[in-house]
């Protein structure tokens, strides 16, 4: 079959850069420096369970905020005419064309002590520390990953036939009822992919917390640090993170199968 053959380059790529590295991580996670099989790596990894839970918590909050911001926006965009839609979507994408690190630096500049926002707040008598806490980390995460929530929800929403909304109104449904009983159920697949696309990277990303979160590192940062000295413990943490995310994905998909239907 010709179509199968065209997939070979990617299959090779996947083998080399996905399967093999995962096996290597698994190998390192279950061995010590001498190459003997051991569980000790996981015991030392357990030292970081606090950070681990903190990361999941930050990811959860960030995902939730993204959802709350993105959902009404996506709904609004999907009801605009096509020209406007692509325009707004472009504006949402524009920040992503800029380097990730640069954008985080920009936030550091904005939030830092004696930075513009801090000065302004001090001036009107509010004395708060804007940087170096969980709030700043969450802000950075939301800023980074919001487009990944908007795009899938928007895609699903724009496919909801306007005549379905009209039909519901025609049958006597108020705006709220239309939303609750027609638009929302039909947009669940978008929510699920949006949540997945935001939660997974926020849980594992690094650098954001290093720059904005002060001493409160996230698990991604920890893996980076630990890896510099100890591949084995680092691999163990990474493996645990992978399993947790896998569990999350399975859960989301199951939830999705029950709720979602083809539009």
Partner 1 sequence: MDRKTIVSLKNIFFDYGNEVILDGINLDIYDKEFITLLGPSGCGKTTTLRIIGGFIEPKDGDVYFDGERINDIPPYRRNVNTVFQKYALFPHLNVYDNIAFGLRLKKMDKREIENKVKHMLAIVDLKGYEKRKINNLSGGQQQRVAIARALVCDPDVVLLDEPLGALDLKLRKDMQIELKKIQQKTKKTFVYVTHDQEEALTMSDRVVVMNNGHIAQIGTPADIYNEPADAFVADFIGEANIINGVMLGDCRVSILGQEITCVDKGFGKNTPVDVVIRPEDIEVVDPSESVLVGTVEDTIFKGVHYEMSVKCNKCQWIIHSTVAQKVGSTIGMTVDPDNIHIMRKMFLLPNNEIFTTVLYSDEEANTITISIEDNEIEVPNCYYAEGTKLHIILPPSGLHIAGDGVGDLDEVYIESVIWKGEHNEIILESDERKWLMQSDQDEQVATYVPISFDFSKATFEVIEEENADED
Alpha-carbon torsion angle 169, 175, 177, 180, nearest 10: 120
Which residues 68-97 are close enough to bind partner 1 by CB under 8 A? Answer: none
List 37's β-bridge partners, or say none.
Answer: 31
Segment interacting with partner 1, rule: CB under 8 A, options 57-65, 89-97, 179-187, 212-220: 179-187
The tokens 């990811």 sit on which residue? 59
What values do phi and psi take at 121, rounded to 5?
Answer: -65, -40
The tokens 């920890």 sit on which residue? 222
Name the residue nearer to partner 1 (CB basis): 89 or 186. Answer: 186
Spatial contact of 181 and 132, defined as CB atoms under 8 Å apart:
no
Segment interacting with partner 1, rule: CB under 8 A, options 106-114, 132-140, 181-189, 200-208: 181-189
Structure tokens given for 83: 């020209």
Using rule CB under 8 A, residue 257 touches partner 1:
no
CB of 63 to partner 1, least distance (A): 24
Instruction: Give dist(CA 84, CA 94) in Å, integer.
Output: 15
Name the residue nearer to partner 1 (CB basis): 127 or 258. Answer: 258
- Among residues 109, 122, 181, 253, which is the contact residue for partner 1, using CB under 8 A? 181
- Among residues 21, 35, 95, 185, which is the contact residue for partner 1, using CB under 8 A? 185
Using rule CB under 8 A, residue 47 touches partner 1:
no
Instruction: Give dist(CA 42, CA 38) in Å, integer.
Output: 9
Distances (CA, A) of 72 to 13, 66, 253, 262: 39, 11, 23, 21
Which residues 154-173 are close enough to bind partner 1 by CB under 8 A? Answer: 161, 163-164, 166-173
The residue among 13, 50, 40, 17 whose CA lies nearest residue 235 is 40
Name the residue nearer to partner 1 (CB basis): 104 or 260. Answer: 260
Using rule CB under 8 A, residue 21 touches partner 1:
no
Structure tokens given for 140: 């950075």
CB of 86 to partner 1, least distance (A): 20
CB of 189 to partner 1, least distance (A): 11
Q: Which residues bind partner 1 (CB under 8 A)?
A: 161, 163-164, 166-174, 177, 181-182, 185-186, 261-263
């Amino acid at each position: 079959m010709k179509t199968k053959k065209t997939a070979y380059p990617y299959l090779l790529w996947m083998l080399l850069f996905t399967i093999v590295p995962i096996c290597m991580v698994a190998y390192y996670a279950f061995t010590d420096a001498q190459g003997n099989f051991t569980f000790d790596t996981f015991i030392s990894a357990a030292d970081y369970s606090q950070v681990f839970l903190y990361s999941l918590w930050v990811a959860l909050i960030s995902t939730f905020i993204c959802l709350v911001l993105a959902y009404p926006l996506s709904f609004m965009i999907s009801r605009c005419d096509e020209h406007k839609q692509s325009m707004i979507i472009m504006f949402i994408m524009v920040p992503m064309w800029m380097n990730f690190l640069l954008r985080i630096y920009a936030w550091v500049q904005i939030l830092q002590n004696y930075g513009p926002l801090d000065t302004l707040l001090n001036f009107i008598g509010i004395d708060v520390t804007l940087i170096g806490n969980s709030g700043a980390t969450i802000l950075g995460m939301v800023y980074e990953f919001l487009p990944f929530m908007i795009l899938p929800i928007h895609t699903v929403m724009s496919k909801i036939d306007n005549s379905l909304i009209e039909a519901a109104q025609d049958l006597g449904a108020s705006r709220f009822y239309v939303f609750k009983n027609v638009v929302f159920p039909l947009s669940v697949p978008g929510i699920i992919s949006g949540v997945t696309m935001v939660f997974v990277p926020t849980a594992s990303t690094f650098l954001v917390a290093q720059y904005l979160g002060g001493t409160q590192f996230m698990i991604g940062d920890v893996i980076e640090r630990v890896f510099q000295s100890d591949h084995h413990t680092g691999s163990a943490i990474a493996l645990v993170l992978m399993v947790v995310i896998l569990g999350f994905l399975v859960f989301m998909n199951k939830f999705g199968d029950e709720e979602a239907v083809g539009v």
